[in-house]
Amino acid sequence: MRVSELMSSKVVAVEMDDKLQVVKEIFDNVKFRHLLVVEDGKLRGVLSDRDLLRAISPNVGTSRETIKDAATLNKRVHQIMTRSPITLPPEAILRDAINVFASHRISCIPIVSPTGQPVGVLSWRDILGALATESRRS
């Protein structure tokens, strides 16, 4: 099975100079956990919801929020993103993805075209879902 069959092809991306306020708004309104960071259409990094939570004040959005807390949302994506993420091409097979997840402490693999453009995201949840579906068929 190819990763292109398992990946989420709905790519949501932000740019390196976007503020964390933009990222927070996206994560507050969607059900996925990773954003791809692009520059000139090419993948430059990955940003997870956990990266965001570590970078902003825990008081943001609460009654205890101060001006200093709110200012943490003015940081830029490039300040907290994971640079040069491990990627796979769409034609990679499931075993390749499993090996990447087993060898590295990552929770998603950006799937990129030969020109470096992101075409999808594969998470370990996608793999588990595919394996569960396959086991039900057997």
Query: pTM above 0.85?
Result: yes
Q: How far is it, in rounded angstroms, from Cα 120 to Cα 3?
A: 9
Average pLDDT score over residue span 56-66? 90
* Minimum mean pLDDT range among 52-56, 59-63, 85-89, 95-99: 59-63
Task: Work out the average pLDDT over 43-47.
Answer: 97
**Which tokens go with 94?**
């499931």
Assign a CATH topology to domain 3-137.
CBS-domain (3.10.580)
Bridge-based pairing state of the strands 34-39 and 13-15: parallel
Measured CA distances, 40 to 43, 97, 106 (Å): 9, 26, 25
The two three-digit tokens of residue 80, written as one number: 């907290």
What does the pLDDT read at residue 64?
A: 92
**Three-state SS at 64:** coil
Q: pLDDT tens for residues 5-43?
A: 999 998 899 999 999 999 999 999 998 899 999 999 999
Indicate the residue type of 117: Q
Mean pLDDT of 51-55: 94
Model confidence at 138, pLDDT cuts 50, 70, 90, reads low
The tens digit of pLDDT for each residue in 79-131 reads 999 999 999 999 999 999 999 999 998 999 999 999 999 999 999 999 998 88
pLDDT at 131 (0 to 100): 84
Nearest to 87, CA basis, from 110, 105, 106, 120? 110
- What is the domain partition of the chain in residue ranges? 3-137
Structural element, H or E, at residue 111: strand 108-112
The confidence score (pLDDT) of residue 61 equals 86
